[in-house]
Amino acid sequence: MNEVLMYALMTLVLLGTVSAVILYFVAQKFKVVEDPKIDLVDEVLPKANCGGCGFPGCRSFAEVLVKSANEKHSLEGLNCPVGGNNVMKEAAAILGLEVEEQEPLIAVIRCNGSKANSPAKVNYDGPSTCAFAHNLYAGEGGCQFGCLGLGDCVASCDFDAIHMNPETGLPEVNDKCVACGACVKACPRGIIELRPKGKKDRRIFVSCINQDKGGIAKKNCEVACIGCSKCFKVCPFEAITMNNNLAYIDPIKCKLCRKCVEVCPTNSIHEINFPVRKKKPETEEEIVETNKTMAVTHDTKQDSNIESQS
């Protein structure tokens, strides 16, 4: 009996030793040398795996960061929009480098064709995906550039930052937005744009991408950009460009003076997070005249506010 036990033990020991030796050489041969910095950098990244940096997942972004630091000694062009400047600074510190401050971005919806502004002419009852509806038809309101309101952007968001407003039928972005750009890619019409958050979260943008001629655009939507170039003329900083009957405000050149918002005849330029406007001293008669209607609406709004307060 003892003999059997002994043979068994010896065989096992022999097998173990031989395998250990083989494994040792194999491990030497196929050794993967990974920069330990990758693990450290990966540690500080937000682990959202959203792809906002342009790479598939945080781990591969960490690899790219380390590679860039080793080869080019800079992290230029690389940014984690989710983590923002803090995370990028931490990562740079691990790699012994410094990064430039990047202005945080946020997604803006460049369409205001709500159910009220662009009333439905036809009803859509197909599958609720914008990608399909975009191939099928122009949209319920008739605008071939506007929001289809079926929520592909909402489905694409990993951060709970974009939701449909059932009243307007348009998506709305909240503070949770990290500018990963998933919704920008998901929107088949390219309505969503990533723009700098701006000082004190103040932003001005043209909330329309309709390139039709003015009359046609206006026929389909009350608040469409009609390409009248008034904003282009009034802008003192040359931040506005006109292209294909559409105004575009360059967020870098824009100094947030709000002159364009005042002159826009269709209210298609939006200002966000600005304090309520003081009543204008009537010096420039021309502007006041063109804005009479707007001024009236402002007044009534203020009045109603006062009434509700009292």
Partner 1 sequence: MIALKTFKKGGVHPEENKISANSPIQKLAFPKQVVVPLGQNLGTPSKPLVKRGDEVKTGQLIAKGESFISANLHSPFTGKVLKIDDAIDSSGYRRPAIFIDVEEDEKWEEGIDTSETIIRDIKADKQTIIDKIKECGIVGLGGATFPTHVKLMIPDGRKAEYLIINGVECEPYLTSDHRLMLEKGEQLLIGIKILMKALAVERAIIGIENNKTDAINHLTELAKQYAGIDIQPLKVKYPQGGEKQLIKATVNREVPSGKLPIEVGCVVCNVGTAVAVYEAVQKNKPLIERVVTVTGKAVKKPSNFLVRIGTPVQMLIDAAEGLPENTGKIINGGPMMGKAITSLEVPVVKGSSGILLMKNEESKRGVPQTCIRCSKCTLACPMGLEPFLLAKLAKLSLHERAEKEKIMDCIECGSCQFTCPSNLPLLDFLRLGKNKVGQLIRSRK
Torsion angle, CA of 126/212/163/158, rounded to 10 degrees? 90
On the CB side of 239, CA atoms within 13 Å amount to 20
The least distance separating partner 1 from the CB of residue 295, rounded to whole angstroms, comes to 35
Which listed residue (97, 115, 137, 267) binds partner 1 by CB under 8 A?
137
> In the structure encoding, which two tokens stand for residue 85, read together?
């400047």
Is the CB of 166 or the CB of 215 nearer to partner 1? Answer: 215
CB atoms inside a 10 Å sphere around CB 207: 22
Q: How far is 145 from 134, CA to CA, in rounded Å? A: 9
Which listed residue (55, 132, 159, 274) binds partner 1 by CB under 8 A?
132
> In the structure encoding, which two tokens stand for residue 86, read together?
């803090």
Stretch that binds partner 1, among 125-133, 194-202, 242-250, 260-268 (CB under 8 A): 125-133
Give the count of residues interacting with partner 1 (CB under 8 A). Answer: 17
Beta carbons within 8 Å of 42's beta carbon, 6+ residues apart:
58, 59, 62
DSSP strand pairing (269-272 vs 203-206): antiparallel
Stretch that binds partner 1, among 12-20, 37-45, 137-145, 260-268 (CB under 8 A): 137-145
Which listed residue (3, 71, 101, 125) binds partner 1 by CB under 8 A?
125
Is the CB of 112 or the CB of 210 nearer to partner 1? Answer: 210
* Structural contact between residues 46 and 58, judged by C-beta atoms closer than 8 angstroms: yes
Stretch that binds partner 1, among 21-29, 57-65, 135-143, 299-307 (CB under 8 A): 135-143
Q: Which of residues 95-124 bind partner 1 (CB under 8 A)?
A: 121-122
The least distance separating partner 1 from the CB of residue 151, rounded to whole angstroms, comes to 14
Is the CB of 145 or the CB of 205 nearer to partner 1? Answer: 145
Query: Is residue 144 involved in binding partner 1 (CB under 8 A)?
Result: yes
Is the CB of 189 or the CB of 230 nearer to partner 1? Answer: 189
Which listed residue (216, 228, 257, 288) binds partner 1 by CB under 8 A?
216
The least distance separating partner 1 from the CB of residue 122, rounded to whole angstroms, comes to 5
Q: How far is 74 from 65, CA to CA, in rounded Å? A: 9
Is the CB of 129 or the CB of 168 nearer to partner 1? Answer: 129
Which listed residue (212, 223, 260, 261) binds partner 1 by CB under 8 A?
212
Give the sign of the dihedral formed by CA 143, CA 146, CA 151, CA 156: positive
Where does residue 131 rank: exposed (0-12), middle (13-18), buried (19+ CB within 10 A)?
middle
Q: How far is 119 from 251, CA to CA, in rounded Å? A: 31
Which residues are at the interface with partner 1 (CB under 8 A)? 121-122, 125-127, 129, 131-132, 135-139, 142, 144, 212, 216
